[in-house]
Amino acid sequence: MKTVSSLLDEEWYERYKSISRLNIRSSIYDVTNRCNLRCKGCFFFSSGEDKVAKEEMDPEKWENFIDNEKKRGVNLAILIGGEPTICLDRVEAFYTRLSTFCATNGIIKVPRDRFPHMMVGISLWGDEEDEKVLRGKDTFSISSKNYYGDPHAYYLYTITPKQIGKTERIISKIRDVGVKVHMQLLSNDEGVENFFWTKEELEDIRAEMDGMLDRYPDTVISSKYYHEIITTGKMLDRTFGWGECPSVTEPTDRREPRPKSLIGFIRWASDLKTMHRCCTSETRDCSICKDGAAHMSWVMVNKRAHMRSEKDLHNWIEVYEMFAKLYQFIPW
């Protein structure tokens, strides 16, 4: 019988033990329906999720809700929107109660006197040209000043097909800003012309992502196994899709058979009552979803499937470590 200890040497077993005790229990929260950008391909607005629920405006109700989430067992609050920094009082209500991650476009600077250790993930959708097409402005020119040298911030670099052959320029710019970077791929929810992925482009960008990890190991937070999964949609002998995704809101999950999923996961709307289907949107085609966190979680909930060989278990550990670093459960 294969066991974790029989598959790993002493070094890898110590790495395994450091993550196995984390017991991460996350949920996602729409802090607001408002945003200071309107990006082409943003699943929140393209799916109409900004109109699904009326935003709760009472601060006390937010505080009571968060207290109940903590009692429910949540130990990681992932804040999205809209743009969370529009409502810093709500962000602070989470931050003072739970380990909190704030996703932002970086235009509004998170004040570090109020949030000294909160991890901030700054969205970046390609180079200046792509950003202007998809987001209406070059956000990096603003966010790079707001978060220069910030040890509790990293760029979530959403790579588009137009970035093939250009990623090193972006990665080196982020390195020079003095922060980390994590890579994922554009899902193109609004069907923007020339931003769809082909099989050949996915093969090319996988090789390029591997190269960035090799050349910038102190800047890029990633793993080659993650690159393989997000570009192929394959994990071991399985294909990503609705029947496999682990990031589905647990109380509304009616899938049969039910796959391994994130325990207690809910994606809450800003009325603090409505539950969205999953970590992205109900209108996204799951078979072409490129959401990075969903693919990481897919690996993480399937530890036993990765216990077939030493290499497979190494891959599982590296992806789990990557997730834990991005959400500040272990140091960079």
Higher pLDDT, 47 or 23: 23
Mean pLDDT of 250-259: 96
- State pLDDT tens for residues 287-330: 889 999 999 999 999 999 999 999 999 999 999 999 999 999 99
The verdict on residue 331 lying in a domain is: no
**Residue 91 to residue 87: CA distance in whole angstroms:** 7
Q: What's the confidence (pLDDT) of residue 37?
A: 81
The verdict on residue 312 lying in a domain is: yes
Neighbours of 215 (CB within 10 A): 12
Query: Considering the entire predicted model, what is its pTM?
Result: 0.96
The verdict on residue 231 lying in a domain is: yes
| Count of structural domains, the chain | 1
Q: Which among 142, 123, 110 is positioned nearest to 182, based on CA atoms?
A: 123
Q: Given the structure tokens 């682990």, which residue do they identify?
A: 246
Mean pLDDT of 197-226: 98
Residue 251 has pLDDT above 70, yes or no: yes
Q: Could you tell me the residue range of the domain that residue 130 belongs to? A: 4-326
Residue 190 has pLDDT above 80, yes or no: no
Q: What's the confidence (pLDDT) of residue 305?
A: 97
The answer to whether the bond into 82 is cis (omega within 30° of 0) is yes
38 falls in which pLDDT band (50, 70, 90)?
A: confident
* Whole-number Cα distances in Å, 60 to 57, 64, 66, 275: 9, 6, 10, 20
108 falls in which pLDDT band (50, 70, 90)?
A: very high
The verdict on residue 332 lying in a domain is: no
What the block records as the tokens of 96 is 């003072």
Q: What's the confidence (pLDDT) of residue 45?
A: 66
The verdict on residue 61 lying in a domain is: yes
The verdict on residue 279 lying in a domain is: yes
The verdict on residue 205 lying in a domain is: yes
Q: What's the confidence (pLDDT) of residue 255?
A: 96
Q: What CATH number is given to the structural domain containing 309?
A: 3.20.20
| List of residues 6+ apart from 234 with CB closer than 8 A | 228, 240
Residue 42 has pLDDT above 90, yes or no: no
**Residue 104 to residue 141: CA distance in whole angstroms:** 15
- % of the chain with per-residue pLDDT over 90: 83
Residue 65 has pLDDT above 70, yes or no: yes
Residue 43 has pLDDT above 80, yes or no: no
**Mean per-residue pLDDT of the chain:** 94
Counting Cβ atoms within 10 Å, is residue 38 exposed (0-12), middle (13-18) or buried (19+)?
exposed
